[in-house]
Amino acid sequence: MKIYSWNVNGIRAIMGKGFVEWVNSEKPDILCLQETKAAEDQIDLSAIRDEGYEIFWNAAEKKGYSGVATFSKMKSLSVKYGFETEKFNNEGRIIITEFEDFTLFNIYFPNGQMGEDRLNYKLEFYDEALKYFDSLRDAGKNVIICGDYNTAHREVDLKNPKSNENYSGFLPIERQWIDKLISHGYVDVYRTMYPDTVKYSWWSYRFSARARNIGWRIDYFFVNQDFYSRIKSCDMLNDIQGSDHCPIFIEI
């Protein structure tokens, strides 16, 4: 089976850019979307449902902002739309879907570029997320954590590391959290499979960045260590247009 993750930067916009046709062609077993920027009733999802997908939707309280959605052909056991701490749940950033063999986190992690308050919120969100991951993993459950993490981990993960080391998205304190995630026993699937490969998942709309491949790898799949052996393949689909991010996937 294949699980895909894609920050679509507005599902209403991407619906007019061949999104449904791409889904029908790629046929993901599970598709996790971030930054949907819409309420579910603003979108005609009948073509997705007709393909056999169960749809889970979490919109932000603020209209046109953030939001995540999970489309699944697998029958879910339960679904949650947030963490235990309420202050992290009003921006529509989290869908936690439990399946028989694993629990899937679809998360649009906060961006810290708007100032110190948002950076602190991002770091607190990170720690709350890790606490949740650990609680399930320690209970013997497998976890898959996908989405837009809004942080490049290592210098190989962005085109211009030196010029960005003082900006949110590549700050030492943000990168240290990914170190912490790994130290807690979670595996960055792509980087573990391809230790030295330079490939990106996001490009700025400015300065023809995508055409020049001036990008960042900020979209990830992490899994608990015991589950990693189940991963057959993974990739970032750089040729798929429609958003400033590209889709990423793992095959189990």
Q: Which are the catalytic amino acids?
A: 108, 148, 245
The reply to whether 54 sits in an annotated binding site is: no
Q: For the chain, how many residues are written?
A: 252
Chain centre distance of CA 210: 19
Cross-strand partners of 250: 3, 234
The reply to whether 26 sits in an annotated binding site is: no
Core vs surface per residue 62-89: b (16+ CB within 10 A) or e: eeeebbbbbbbebebeeebebbeeeebb
The reply to whether 90 sits in an annotated binding site is: no
What is the bridge-based pairing of β-strands 30-34 and 215-216?
unpaired
The reply to whether 142 sits in an annotated binding site is: no
The reply to whether 150 sits in an annotated binding site is: yes
Whether 72 and 54 have beta carbons less than 8 Å apart is answered as: yes
The reply to whether 7 sits in an annotated binding site is: yes
Q: Which residues are annotated as a binding site?
A: 7, 35, 148, 150, 244-245
Q: Which residues are annotated as a binding site for Mg(2+)?
A: 7, 35, 148, 150, 244-245
